[in-house]
Chain A
């Protein structure tokens, strides 16, 4: 049976929900579960995790661990791995998770797989399933020997059992970081708040040209009384400002109705809109991942479908 080390992540002074999802993934494998919590003033969080399925929880405390740094976190996790000798090391696929994962895998010289949503034991290693090609395909990967994986947040339901574990101090000395944390700040807020809109219509690369947002998408927004959003590639290309972006690094929204036009549905976009009450997707590619989360799908040429939709909406309203 595989022994699993969970690396918990602290955000805003609390353990992230994603860390409890790791507990569920680890417990699903049926072997020993140990956890690591690192930060400053995290003893209480470690005790809490030990009662929520984290098993034996190692806690590393110190001023040097107050802010995240790849250098210090790698050193601490490496020490926990040497102490516990786990078969599998689990982190969450978050900005800190993927920042440290590669470095740690190189230090440990182990197999590494990111953003997985399913893990099974397989001989001396693991079978891990994840998306590839920006969501177009799924891949089952075979990792041999000790394996490090980052797990997609939301891929598992947080563990809800209450088991009595224990807490043990992990003493790590001589921690230092070459880069210096300066501050965390909010990106300049634009005036385009999509979180309060009842209806959001977003456009993607399928619109082909920036001016098509005005020519094709704007009439649909007007007919629906919707706010306009956009996918990341569109914002990256400078077609729309960042405040239009729907997704994990933009706005995370849950309107009553979300209409995705010419958006294929990369994971980072889906994270931003899958909580919508009703989702309509218009895309020419029937295999586009967006159709998996949509309630209603229109496979077709958006340049024909959207004008027809605007016309039909006008007629319906009389």
Chain B
């Protein structure tokens, strides 16, 4: 069995984010990056399938030089090989272009299962996975919270609203876009990190994949990124922690809840 895990390197959850001077993206030169949280769960799902039997896990990412680190981490966790794609055309891109490029990567081999996160923590689009499924002509399920491989198919649970779950049976090959929290993501062990240095990591350009900048020209661009305008917002309580506390308590008293 061959599994492709698509992952994205995004700003670390604890990074302090600010809008860059151009006003269309964040200042990303001096911040810490990490594997997108959703994608970590997707990777863990793939690695558990590998642990349970025979599977090769390939990780792919579209990202600049810094994204090599994310792929090395994934290799350190147990993935077998990595593919990194970059072209300056991706500096301003959209989900459709990313999905087309990932499809070109996937089509170079033959995968039984493609897994990735439901969305990225930066763009929050939740578009790339179903787009990629379409380009690969695969059935897909998003918001996956449970996946169990059976003979030639995968039984999945998809998260709906209000605590409801939908159970679906999907024939392989298939694409699954997973929710966060579905498993306990492993850390790369020191031994794993050492081993990762010797695992293959292929760097590809658009032309290596038979694409050019025109093929991945975006239809959606960011015109403006900004801190949301302050509405009426909260009344802020000033002072030392003790002073703040007594003002909050006064409010709770006023509400008749004490």
Interface residues of A (CB under 8 A from B): 68, 70-71, 74, 94-95, 98-103, 105-107, 109-115, 127, 130-145, 177-187, 189, 198-199, 205, 224, 232-233, 235-238, 242, 248-252, 256-257, 278-281, 286-287, 289, 291-292, 294-301, 304-305, 307-309, 311-313, 316-317
Q: Given that A112-B96, A141-B220, A301-B241 are contacting pairs, would A131 and B228 also be in contact in the complex, using a CB cutoff of 8 Å? A: yes
Closest approach, in angstroms, between the C-beta of B13 and any C-beta of chain A?
A: 7
Are B235 and A295 interface neighbours, CB within 8 A? yes
**Interface presence of B140 (CB below 8 A):** yes
> Is the CB of B170 closer than 8 A to any CB of chain A?
yes
User: What CA separation (Å) do A128 and B129 show in the bound complex?
Assistant: 21
- Identify whether the interface residues of A are mostly helix, strand, loop, or mixed: mixed
Given A103-B133, A114-B127, A133-B17, answer yes or no on A142-B248 (Cβ-Cβ < 8 Å).
no
Q: How far is the CA of A308 from the CA of B248 in the complex (A)?
A: 10
Evaluate contact between B248 and A309: CB separation under 8 angstroms.
Answer: yes
A196 to B62, CA, bound (A): 46
Mask of B214-251 contacts with A, CB within 8 angstroms, 1/0: 00000111111111111101111100011011101101
* B249/A312 in contact, CB under 8 A: yes
15 contacts between A and B (CB under 8 A): A95-B160, A99-B158, A107-B134, A112-B127, A115-B126, A138-B225, A140-B222, A142-B223, A179-B168, A232-B180, A249-B163, A298-B244, A305-B244, A308-B244, A311-B245
Question: Which residues of chain B have C-beta atoms less than 8 A from A224's C-beta?
Answer: 252, 257
Q: Which of B72-80, B116-124, B199-207 contacts A (4 or more CB under 8 A)?
A: B116-124
Instruction: Bits for B135-152, please: 1 = Cβ < 8 Å to A, else 0.
Output: 100011111000000000
**Taking the nearest CB of chain A, how far is it from the CB of B165, in angstroms?**
6
- A282 to B83 CA separation, bound complex (whole angstroms): 43
Pair B127/A134 contact, Cβ less than 8 Å: no
Chain A residues whose CB sits within 8 angstroms of the CB of B129 once the complex forms: 102
Residue from A114, A144, A295 in contact with B126 in the complex, judged by beta carbons closer than 8 Å? A114
Question: What is the bound-complex CA distance between A249 and B154, given in angstroms?
Answer: 23
- Could you say which residues of chain B place their CB within 8 Å of the CB of A130? 124
Residue B68 CB within 8 A of the other chain: no
Q: How far is the CB of B24 from chain A (nearest CB, A)?
A: 9
Determine the distance from Cα of A240 to Cα of B30 in the docked complex, in whole angstroms.
33
Question: Would you call B121 and A133 a contact (CB within 8 A)?
Answer: yes
User: In the complex, A269 Cα to B186 Cα: how many Å?
Assistant: 26
B63 adjacent to chain A (CB < 8 Å): no
With a cutoff of 8 Å between Cβ atoms, the chain A residues found around residue B57 in the complex are none
Chain B residue contacts of A142, Cβ below 8 A = 220-223
A111 CA to B222 CA in the complex, in Å? Answer: 13
Given contacts A185-B164, A292-B230, A299-B236, contact A103 B140 (CB under 8 A): yes
B7-45 interface mask toward A, CB cutoff 8 Å, 1 = contact, 0 = none? 000010100010100000010000000000100000000
Q: Are the C-beta atoms of A131 and B124 separated by less than 8 Å?
A: yes
In the assembled complex, the Cα of A67 lies from the Cα of B27 at a distance in Å of 45
B9 to chain A, nearest CB (A): 14
Contact partner, B220, options A94, A111, A256, A313, Cβ 8 Å? A111
Evaluate contact between B161 and A94: CB separation under 8 angstroms. Answer: yes
Q: How far, in angstroms, from A232 to B226 measured CA to CA in the complex?
A: 25
Q: In angstroms, how far is the closest chain B Cβ from the Cβ of A24?
A: 20
Q: Quote the shortest CB–CB distance from A1 to chain B (angstroms).
A: 21
Q: Which 3 pairs of residues, A with B, have the shortest CB-CB distance?
A: A297-B234, A102-B130, A236-B181
Residue of A nearest to B143 (CB): A95
Tell me which of B11, B131, B170, B174 contacts A103 (CB under 8 A): B131
Sample of 6 further A-B pairs with CB below 8 A, known A296-B235, A309-B248: A102-B99, A138-B226, A142-B223, A178-B139, A181-B168, A312-B245
In the bound complex, do residue B127 and residue A99 qualify as a contact, i.e. CB atoms below 8 Å apart? no
Residues of A within 8 A of B223 (CB): 127, 140-142
**Structural contact, B121 and A134, CB atoms closer than 8 A:** yes
A296 x B164 contact (CB < 8 A) = no
Cα A138 to Cα B230 with chains together (Å): 12
Contacts of A298 in B (CB 8 A): 236-237, 244, 248
How far apart sit A304 and B243, CA to CA, in the bound complex (Å)? Answer: 11
Taking CB atoms, residues of chain A closer than 8 Å to B190 are none
A233: which B residues are within 8 A, CB to CB?
A: 13, 180
**A141:B221 contact, CB within 8 angstroms:** yes
Query: Of B160, B237, B246, which contacts A296 at CB under 8 A?
Result: B237
- For A205, the chain B residues whose CB sits under 8 A away are 13
B169:A180 contact, CB within 8 angstroms: yes
Given known A101-B127, A178-B139, A189-B163, contact A138–B134 (CB-CB < 8 A): no
